[in-house]
Amino acid sequence: MFKKIVPLVASLALGAALLSACGSSTSDNAAQPAKANAASGSKDVHFLYNFSTRSLDPHVDSSYVPLRAGITETLVRLDEENLTVAPWLAKSWDSQDGQHWNIQLRDDVTFQNGKPMNADAVKASLERALKENVAIQNALKIDTIEADGNKLTITTTQPFPEFASELVNPNTAIIDVSEPDIVNKPIGTGPFALDTFTPGSKLELSRYDKYWDGASPLDHVTFSFNEDANARSLALKSGQVDMVYRPEVESLESLKAIDGMKVESTSTFRVHQLTMNMQRPAIQDLNVRKALDALIDRQGIIDTILLGYGEAAIGPFLPSLPFAPKYDRKAAEFGSEAAIQHLQAAGYSLTNGVMTKDGKPLKLTLLTYSSRADLPLIAQVFQSDAKQIGIDVEIRQIDTPEEYMASNRDWDIATYSNLTAPRGDAGYYLNATYHPKGALNFSGSEDPKLTAIIDELNLTVAPEKRAVLAEQAANYVHDQVLNSFVLHPSTIVAYNSKKILNWVTSRSEYYMITNKLDVM
């Protein structure tokens, strides 16, 4: 099934490369060298990222650039080795009942404008995040916040044992809300202060000398954007940038051949999925969803599009995670024959090469977006395989998937990439994606049985009981095919190892420009 469309995929990849070589990139200045260099005695790094943003408001920015660029920090962070919540701006927290929380802040933190970070400032920042971001309201479930010196007292609307883990969310970053231009120049507590921001293009950052965890050895960082994977790879090869996040996979062997170039591949908490719009009549039929799931040639996509840099997915969570179910799926459940059987059970028949029901052909609109280079290719693969069994799939390119899918119902399925365990726990993804109030519930799913499991999970403290509930929820999603899961992609970072020191590829994809990053 997959081999028939390999030439199509290859031609698409070539076309993208030619376009990026001949046309303008997402950001005209993204590949320009940093403003200072070793010759002037300045220690600089130029980091090229794959998503652009036009706003640095950390409370609403879905690209999380302020935190990733080292401008802002959250009260707690994820310990990615142990999958536990670790102190950051908060040095301790406790609750006797899961509803009334005491948070003790560090007493040595200042904002990049020199003002102290105290409980009043943190309270103001959290209250702004709650006001500006409905998803944060739903996630944190905060009723009241009280400030006293360096102590916060927070009461949630219900017992919520996992409250602290939700504070890992970059949209809860602590900033000085009294500053006049949060969109273009937020003032945080991180190791780097923002000098200039060119929306859609780049940030210029300077070391914050009074950073509470020790000043960075770097003088400047340029954090720039280009959504074209081929252009990112070319910028690294030419020496215009020092580091590239998610270079084009076809370029990896040529990058490895360059003396001193290092390519790191790390498994992360991400899944590429086929999101189902449960408000569309055809998609409401479980057998149709099973058919679409059966059509996905997961291993073929990994081998051909990702060149092996990924792992086939059945559910949303990496199999190595303690709360991931152990699925037992047989090869017979996949492929065009299995898909046709499911469609026949839904009342469809293949007539003259067209899949029809009640005389109407099955036509689907598939959304995709180019900032993750593999997603449009996955969409093309799916479109070609669907055509083989008479399904007409129209691919529609969109720019900002979260905004479009949340505001429009004129689509049936969408390729989407989601972090499923960025807090080290299943609760984030299940709440965000399947709870009726979830910020990422783009499918419009509202299943009382699943919601009841998630609600119970939210009230459960014991890790072993949480794991059981998480498995129940993931199995329910799997059995009902509320979404289809394609693969867990590896995060690939390439950089000049003759210059860059102490880079760590974050599994959560949150922590990038830190005070440990250095150059030779």
pLDDT in tens, 420-447: 988 878 998 999 999 998 989 999 989 9
pLDDT at 170 over 70: yes
Length of the chain measured in residues? 520
pLDDT value for 17: 35
Neighbours of 352 (CB within 10 A): 6
pLDDT at 282 over 70: yes
In degrees to the nearest 10, what's the CA dihedral of 389, 394, 395, 401?
Answer: -110
pLDDT at 112 over 90: yes
Q: What percent of the chain has pLDDT over 90?
A: 80
pLDDT value for 39: 53
Neighbours of 497 (CB within 10 A): 15
> Residue 508 carries which side chain, given as an amino acid letter?
S
pLDDT at 177 over 80: yes
Please check whether residue 243 is in contact with residue 495, taking contact to mean a CB–CB distance below 8 angstroms. yes
In degrees to the nearest 10, what's the CA dihedral of 114, 120, 126, 128?
Answer: -80
Q: Which of 162, 75, 164, 169 is nearest to 470 (CA)?
A: 162
Q: Which of 47, 58, 46, 53 is nearest to 27 (CA)?
A: 53
Determine the Cα–Cα distance for residues 210 and 191; give it in Å rounded to an integer.
8
* pLDDT grade for 41, boundaries at 50, 70 and 90: confident
Please check whether residue 177 is in contact with residue 124, taking contact to mean a CB–CB distance below 8 angstroms. yes
Determine the Cα–Cα distance for residues 329 and 134; give it in Å rounded to an integer.
38
Collapsing DSSP to helix, strand or coil, 453 comes out as helix
- Domains along the sequence of the chain with CATH: 13-57+190-260+497-519 (3.40.190.10), 72-172 (3.40.190.10), 268-490 (3.10.105.10)
pLDDT value for 330: 66
Neighbours of 151 (CB within 10 A): 13
pLDDT in tens, 201-236: 999 999 999 999 999 999 999 999 999 999 999 999
**Position of tokens 């420009």?**
513
